[in-house]
Structure 1
Amino acid sequence: MSEELNNNVTEETATAAPAAEEAPVESKAKTKFGRKLDNYFGITKEKSTFGTEIVAGIVTFLAMAYILVVNPNAISLFGVNKVPTEQLFLATALGAVIGTLLMAFVAKMPLAQASGMGLNYTVGGLIAGGLAGAAVTFGNAMLLVLISGIIFLLLSVIKINGVAIREVIFDGIPECVRGAIAVGIGLFIAFIGMQNSGLIVASSTLVDLIQFNTYAWPYAASGAVVCLVGLLSIAVLEHFKVKGGVIIGVIIATLVGIPMGVTKWSGMSWKFWETFAAFFSFNGSENGGVFFACFTEGFKWAGGASQIMPAVMTVITFCMIDM
């Protein structure tokens, strides 16, 4: 009887008690500008500090900086794409800056954006292989990427019964297929990486490992050795949870590649600002005009109407990779 009475009293008290309003979080910043930043991004509200966010930003940059090197190489797959590497480097950096700033000031989310692994190698393969037996230029590929991006944005924004179309499509894909897509893209990237490093070579069985027991100089397997050193370094650093392990591994491989003749500095310039004028020009991608390439050369298709359906399927493929 007493237990029932106590329970009733407790329930009535809980029901009668008004919901406590969340007290406003006072900023710990010392300056007016700091308080404005704090209130805008909700740093104190999320129980974080400026120092924590700065360190997290540096660590995130170190973890993602490898894309600045990998993305230009991916798009220039097999050397077919004649776009200057420094322009692709600049495009990769500029895209990451714009995407990250939009996430920061529009979405107010501490998320860094950069070119995605998988799609970049697909674009490189598209330029190298062409469509319907006809060549595909850098501008053609960028136009398809732009179209797929717009479609993907619409699929994410337009909702049916309160659910985005993208989510409906994603939920309709069997889980085994989702996993297979991710694994397939990973294997594709790994295969291309092993090809570029010389770790695997063509043979009568289609693919074979390079021979490491040929000691003539220049060492034929030098690229493969540098690849394995970089891969092992990254694996060890990641095992011990070293922050920025990927970029550190890239640096180690770069240094090892200098005496082995793999890392080449000839023709390289650190004056990236010199490429800006060409980057924003209308002179075509091969002359450095990367920024407007999809408009200056994207609509000029070598195969004409025969490339329409392959182009449509390519756009769908790009959307599936982003999904």
Structure 2
Amino acid sequence: MLEKVFKLKENNTNVKTEITAGITTFMTMAYILAVNPSILGDAGMDSTAVLLATCIASFIGTACMALMANMPFALSAGMGLNAYFTYTVVLGFGYSWQVALLAVFIEGLIFIVLSLTNVREAIFNSIPLSLKHAVSVGIGLFIAFIGLQNAGLSINNDSTLVTIVSFTDNFTTSGISALLAIIGTFLIAVLYIKKVKGSILIGILATWILGIICQLTGLYVSTPDAGYYSLIPTFAMTDFTKLGETFGQCFNVDLGSVGIVNFIIVIFSFLFVDMFDTLGTLIGVSSKAGMLDKNGRLPKIKSALLADAVATTAGAVLGTSTTTTYVESSAGVAEGGRTGLTAMTTAFLFLISMFFAPVFIAVPSFATAPALIIVGFLMFSNVTKIKFDEKNFVSSIPAYLCIIAMPLFYSISEGISIGVISYVVINLICKKGREVSPVMYVLAVLFILKYIFL
């Protein structure tokens, strides 16, 4: 049955590898079950309702990816997009969260149309291979940076923007968390070098267990006010009736009080960020997994994009911000995941997490951080596929700009924007404009207009 649906032998994989990869992907994404309710809660939404909506939307989107595209990509509420939803649209522009959900819903419908008409596929195929490799490398640096932050190793600093944490100050909270993340990183690295199956998942669980031991012995002290929660899971059930507080609320909106022009701007802001975050993730993870063909194209991309669009639309109805393909899918790919069975495993875990949400939420970010750091290294290795010799500067310099923009601007879509614009401008100035796809010119103009008006 599984062989017939997911074509495991054709993709040189097996059930055990796929399930392990799916669990690994989920473990690296589980933080969203704690983070998304917190962020959208600041917009005035009920946290339990957001948690349920996030779980169900993640299940729908990831299951669609598994069954429609047979790809190992998982979907959930997008980080960055949820922050834009709350802190810009709701708290900044003063719109209600219901209006913001309606904007996400309409964005999803537009994406469905674009996916069915091959527009998003055309955009994917128009991006040159050097930039596709650069996106993979940039995402590697980006998620490694996220991993360092989640570990508490990289912290804010007024003079240098970021710096390393002090291990001696607040040792029982930030210090021990950062130290455990370092131990977890070395553990995963050694296991991966020794080709131990499930090395990333083993590293996550081992780091979490070490954290629990530290809490029981007093080395780690739960301090909720400072963001350091108990590492020991509880088994309380979720109040499922709360979902009614957000379900369908995107249709409970009086647009007359919003202003159509401002509302359209909000829609297109979501549209731009979601489109290129998704494309960037698909390009980066597919490139690392060896799923791109010799022309740098991804077979069945239309189905993958359509699954993403359906997930966004369903998520808005349920009551969560934009649902998108997750870069953490690369963790499962690194474990050998190659088919939709990986995605279906992740989808199932999201579904049952509604019943055991407190258990999954107890997995601390410092335990999943090592996985992101090591996966970042694996994706960064694609840098060797970019030709940096003098004959290829017109393509390698835009690739370099794309790479550094992602972690430094904290956005996959911004990295793609910088990469596309610089690629077109440099080729034009160097009189190689005829070699550039017409779609790339359109994208460059749109990106420039985005920076001017959005």
Q: TM-score, normalised by structure 2?
A: 0.46
Per the alignment, residue 109 of structure 2 pairs with 150
CA distance in 2, matches of 1:53, 1:190: 28
Per the alignment, residue 264 of structure 1 pairs with 229
The question of 1:95 aligning with 2:44 is answered no
Q: 5+ unaligned residues in a row in structure 1: which ranges? A: 1-36, 159-163, 284-288
Structure of higher CA gyration radius: 1
Q: Does the residue aligned with 2:30 lie in a helix, a strand or coil?
A: helix
The question of 1:322 aligning with 2:278 is answered yes
Counterpart selection for 2:239 from 275, 290, 294: 275
CA distance in 2, matches of 1:247, 1:293: 38
Q: Is the 8 A contact 1:144 1:315 kept in 2?
A: no
Matches within 5 A, 1:84-233: 87-102=49-64, 107=68, 110-111=70-71, 114-115=74-75, 120-127=78-85, 129-131=87-89, 133-134=92-93, 142-158=101-117, 164-203=118-157, 204-214=159-169, 218-233=172-187
Please tell me the residue identity of whatever aligns with 1:221: G
Q: Does the residue aligned with 1:212 lie in a helix, a strand or coil?
A: coil
Q: Does the residue aligned with 1:238 lie in a helix, a strand or coil?
A: helix
The question of 1:42 aligning with 2:4 is answered yes
Per the alignment, residue 24 of structure 1 pairs with none
Per the alignment, residue 60 of structure 1 pairs with 21
Q: Is the 8 A contact 1:103 1:110 kept in 2?
A: yes
Distance change (3 Å), C-alpha of 1:244 and 1:270: farther
Q: Does the residue aligned with 1:155 lie in a helix, a strand or coil?
A: helix
Q: Is the 8 A contact 1:68 1:89 kept in 2?
A: no
CA distance in 2, matches of 1:186, 1:74: 22
Per the alignment, residue 364 of structure 2 pairs with none
Q: Which moved further from structure 2: 76-85 or 58-67?
A: 76-85
Q: Is the 8 A contact 1:227 1:253 kept in 2?
A: yes
Distance change (3 Å), C-alpha of 1:313 and 1:65: closer
CA distance in 2, matches of 1:316, 1:54: 37
Q: Does the residue aligned with 1:241 lie in a helix, a strand or coil?
A: coil
CA distance in 1, matches of 2:43, 2:277: 22
Equivalent residues, number: 263
CA distance in 1, matches of 2:17, 2:96: 39
* The structure with more helix, counted as a fraction of residues: 2
Cα RMSD for the two superposed structures: 4.3
Q: Does the residue aligned with 1:270 lie in a helix, a strand or coil?
A: coil
Q: Which moved further from structure 2: 229-238 or 184-193?
A: 184-193
CA-CA distance at 1:42 after TM superposition:
2.9
CA distance in 2, matches of 1:221, 1:44: 44
Deviations 1:245-270 (A, max 9, x none): 33332222222333213663499753
Per the alignment, residue 27 of structure 1 pairs with none
Please tell me the residue identity of whatever aligns with 1:123: L
CA distance in 2, matches of 1:301, 1:174: 44
CA-CA distance at 1:227 after TM superposition:
2.7
Deviations 1:185-221 (A, max 9, x none): 554444444334432222212111112244x653542
CA distance in 1, matches of 2:151, 2:127: 35
Distance change (3 Å), C-alpha of 1:228 and 1:206: same
Q: 5+ unaligned residues in a row in structure 2: which ranges? A: 223-227, 280-454
CA distance in 2, matches of 1:293, 1:230: 42
Q: Is the 8 A contact 1:230 1:249 kept in 2?
A: yes
Q: Does the residue aligned with 1:251 lie in a helix, a strand or coil?
A: helix
Q: Is the 8 A contact 2:65 2:74 kept in 1?
A: no
Q: Does the residue aligned with 1:66 lie in a helix, a strand or coil?
A: helix
CA distance in 1, matches of 2:256, 2:28: 29
CA distance in 1, matches of 2:98, 2:53: 13
Deviations 1:98-129 (A, max 9, x none): 3454456x64x65455325xx72122331454
- What's the % identity of the aligned pairs? 27
CA-CA distance at 1:89 after TM superposition:
4.7
CA distance in 2, matches of 1:267, 1:44: 36
Q: Does the residue aligned with 1:202 lie in a helix, a strand or coil?
A: strand
Q: Is the 8 A contact 1:139 1:296 kept in 2?
A: yes
CA distance in 2, matches of 1:319, 1:59: 29
Deviations 1:8-61 (A, max 9, x none): xxxxxxxxxxxxxxxxxxxxxxxxxxxxx58xx73799769xxx8653453233
CA-CA distance at 1:276 after TM superposition:
1.9
CA distance in 1, matches of 2:101, 2:122: 27
CA-CA distance at 1:318 after TM superposition:
0.7
CA distance in 2, matches of 1:61, 1:83: 30
Q: Does the residue aligned with 2:156 lie in a helix, a strand or coil?
A: strand
